[in-house]
Amino acid sequence: MGVGIRTVLLVDDEPDIRKLARLCFEAVRPWKVVLAGTAAEALALAAVERPDVILLDVLMPDMDGSALMSALRSRPESADTPIIFMTGVHQKAEVDRLRALGPAGIIDKPFDPMGLADRVQRFYEAGRAGP
């Protein structure tokens, strides 16, 4: 099933999004799903859990997704972890800005609950395939 994915860290300030995503993942994949509601939680959990992939909400109150991605990249334990942005922002300029940061992928909100795990798996595999 999961090529290399054992643990997913999902960072989103919306409790309902966290719960829904956890249910989606656990229904179709044998992944451990770790949830964070703030940037501080995400940084602490990334250090302890060492997730194989991180799903990161772009718009959060304490630190936006791009700043959190930068913080994660500055730490040895998460420097190479694939990061997938999740965003409800659909303006081309913002999407282009996010892509320029080098995430493994971008998932639009609202997302397809039944297809979420497959999308994460594809982004993860593509990122691991290299150039």
**CATH number of the domain encompassing residue 117:** 3.40.50.2300
Residue 6 tokens read as 């054992």
Q: Is residue 1 part of a domain?
A: no
Residue 44 is predicted with a pLDDT of: 97
Domain range for 11? 7-126
Q: Is residue 2 part of a domain?
A: no
DSSP state of 83: E
- As a whole number of angstroms, the distance between CA 112 and CA 97 comes to 23
Q: Is residue 25 part of a domain?
A: yes
What are the tens digits of pLDDT across the range 10-35? 999 999 999 999 999 999 999 999 99
Say yes or no to pLDDT of 46 above 80: yes
Q: Is residue 32 part of a domain?
A: yes
65, 109 Cβ separation under 8 angstroms: no
Q: How many structural domains are present in the chain?
A: 1
Q: Is residue 83 part of a domain?
A: yes
Say yes or no to pLDDT of 62 above 60: yes
Backbone dihedral angles phi then psi of residue 93, each to the nearest 5 degrees = -60, -40
Instruction: Work out the pLDDT band at 4, boundaries 50, 70, 90.
Output: confident
Q: Is residue 46 part of a domain?
A: yes
- pTM, to two decimals: 0.92
DSSP string, 25-85: HHHH---EEEEESSHHHHHHHHHHH--SEEEEES--SSS-HHHHHHHHHTSTTTTTS-EEE
Over residues 67-76, the mean pLDDT reads: 96
Over residues 66-91, the mean pLDDT reads: 94
